[in-house]
Amino acid sequence: MLTSIPDLLKVITPNQRRIDAEQAKQEISENKGLLIDVREPAEHATNPAVGAINIPRGLLEMKLMEIEKDAARPIYLHCASGARATLSAEAITRVGYENVTVITCNATQVCDAF
């Protein structure tokens, strides 16, 4: 049986840390966390989250392991609606990253906060 994306999000969301852009901005300035925009490059180029590294969701696990070797470094994930960031958080947690946070606001809010 197939699981719809909304149903999948209902299952994985409660297990994730989620904060808004303002809190993320404050934490990143204090803990040197890594801000990653998991949207597609064209989306990121149109409305970039300042300071974010753009790694599309489909490449995240592979590219992140090249960029960040410290599994304990705080990682903050951003996308337009939160869905891709949520799915990305589950994926990178599964490969061993320990301190992963989903930013819960939309692209405009994130860009305004950073």
CATH assignment at residue 50: 3.40.250.10
Please check whether residue 8 lies inside any domain of the structure: no
In a domain, 83, yes or no: yes
Does residue 95 fall inside a structural domain? yes
For position 33, what pLDDT does the model report? Answer: 97
16/114 Cα distance (integer angstroms): 22
Residue 5 resides in a domain: no
The answer to the question of residue 1 being in a domain is no
**Where do the DSSP E strands lie in the chain?**
17-19, 34-37, 53-54, 75-78, 100-103
For residue 52, tell me if it sits in a domain. Answer: yes
Would the pLDDT of 109 be above 80?
Answer: no
The model's pTM: 0.90
Closest to 64 (Cα-Cα) out of 93, 84, 31: 93
CA distances for 32 relative to 1, 13, 106, angstroms: 42, 24, 22
Instruction: Tell whether 89 is covered by a domain.
Output: yes
Q: What is the count of structural domains for the chain?
A: 1
pLDDT tens profile 32-75: 999 999 999 999 889 888 889 999 999 999 999 999 999 999 99
Per-residue DSSP letter, 58:
G
Range of 89's domain?
17-113
